[in-house]
Amino acid sequence: MSETPAENPAPEETDTSAETAAPVPDTPPDTPTEKPAGTGRPGGTRPALLVGSLALLVALGGLGGAWQLYRQQQALDARLAGVESRTAGDLTALKANLDGLREQNARIEERLASLGREQQDLAGTLQELLRRNTHLQQTWLVAEARYLIRLAGQRLALARDPATAIAALKAADARLKGVADPAILPVRKALAEDIDALQKVPMPDVTGLALRLGALIRDVDHLKLLRVREEQKEKPDKAGEAKTPVQDWREMPAALWREMQKLIVIRHHEGPVRPLLTPEQHFFLVQNLKLQLEQARLALLQGNADLWRDSLDTARQWLEAWFDQADPATAHLEGALRELAGIDIAPELPTPARSHEAISRYLAEHGTPEAAQPDGAGS
């Protein structure tokens, strides 16, 4: 088939030229010319065979391509069928899970609805209980007030703390303010009286007094020690007594006696004799004076009035006995100690006995007998 086209070009060109050179018959254009049978050339059937062969090859190629496409389509359809099968299985599993979740959600919603109904029932029961027992809240408030009154008494008795006691009594009055009962008014009146009595007590400024004592302790190092100055009082010579020389051995004893009287000095003291202190003794005296003032400060913090006064009086006596009274620092320290000793650091504090008695009486009349039993909080 590849060689046939190479052999045919020459005859085709000859035939074309022959037909071109032949004369055109005198016939109308519309009239077809008929060729007699058997007048064609011997090689005229080869192009038809070539065209047929080409058409056959094209047809075979098309059939092969169609077959290949068909096989690919079959493979693709098989894959799509597998994907659809797996997808259907996954969808079935998801649908089953979704159905399970819906059932679980339905059970949860049912449980929540049940809990909501139970909560509503409980709230209704509580409201009904509060409506039927309106005195329950009032009893609780009265019990809190009684505890606060007891706390105030303990703070006054044990710690001497009127500030905390006043705060506790005010808190008790605030609790009783919410009690809608006219019978509670005597208790509130007693609370007001006890609070007023505590507020009238002149409480010392403990912090200020402690700081002042600290300043006085630092001043002790600058005090001057007392120096004993005694004037010698010698016997004056007798008026007109002449110092005559010894003329005779018999006058020798009298002359010796006169000379011995000049060597002996007699000192007169109005008070007890105070021996001079050595530097070491002076150091310990200063330290002991500081310890007395520190003891007074400790007594101040503890509220011990007796120890406070004793320590300050002892320190003041030591100043008068061993330090120079003419020194301004000594005089200032002695006056300050005398002033501090006159301060009452532990004034008598009233107890909230009236409040305790009033609230105990109220509980005895309107509360339980156990709550009204005395417990000694007001003493």
Residue 69 pLDDT: 87
Residue 315 pLDDT: 92
Which among 167, 242, 244 has a CA at the least distance from the CA of 199? 167
Res. 193 pLDDT band, cuts 50 70 90: very high
pLDDT at 86 over 60: yes
What is the average pLDDT value for the chain, to the nearest integer? Answer: 77
Residue 21 pLDDT: 41
Res. 10 pLDDT band, cuts 50 70 90: very low
Question: Which SS3 state, helix, strand or coil, does residue 233 take?
Answer: strand
Whose structure tokens read 């310990």?
284
Q: How many CA atoms lie within 13 A of 284 on its CB side?
A: 4
Which of 369 and 306 is assigned the larger pLDDT?
A: 306
Strand partners, 266: 233
Indicate the angle between helix axes 279-302 and 206-219, nearest 10 degrees.
Answer: 180
Q: What is the pLDDT of residues 149-171, one digit of tens each?
A: 999 999 998 888 899 999 999 99
The encoded tokens of residue 81 equal: 């069928």
Q: What residues contact residue 199 under an 8 Å CB cut-off, 6+ apart?
A: 166
CA distance 19 to 25: 12
Whose structure tokens read 């009594």?
169
CA distance 141 to 359: 12
Res. 185 pLDDT band, cuts 50 70 90: very high
Average pLDDT on 40-50 reads 66
Phi, psi values for residue 369, rounded to 5°: -60, -35
Residue 277 pLDDT: 58
Which among 144, 139, 157, 140 has a CA at the least distance from the CA of 353? 157
Residue 211 CA, chain-centre distance (Å), reads 32
CA distance 204 to 303: 10
CA distance 148 to 187: 13
Average pLDDT on 42-68 reads 79
DSSP state of 275: P
CA distance 216 to 223: 11
Res. 367 pLDDT band, cuts 50 70 90: low
Q: How many CA atoms lie within 13 A of 69 on its CB side?
A: 6
Which among 303, 59, 84 has a CA at the least distance from the CA of 201? 303
Average pLDDT on 242-264 reads 65
Residue 128 pLDDT: 78
Res. 20 pLDDT band, cuts 50 70 90: very low
pLDDT at 14 over 50: no
pLDDT at 108 over 60: yes
Strand partners, 225: 323
Q: What residues contact residue 315 under an 8 Å CB cut-off, 6+ apart?
A: 289, 292, 293, 296, 337
CA distance 169 to 161: 13
Res. 258 pLDDT band, cuts 50 70 90: confident
pLDDT at 116 over 50: yes
Give the number of other CB atoms < 10 A from CB of residue 296.
28
Helices marked H in the chain — which ranges?
Answer: 4-7, 9-21, 46-132, 135-154, 162-177, 185-199, 206-219, 252-263, 279-302, 305-322, 328-341, 353-366
The encoded tokens of residue 143 equal: 């019990």
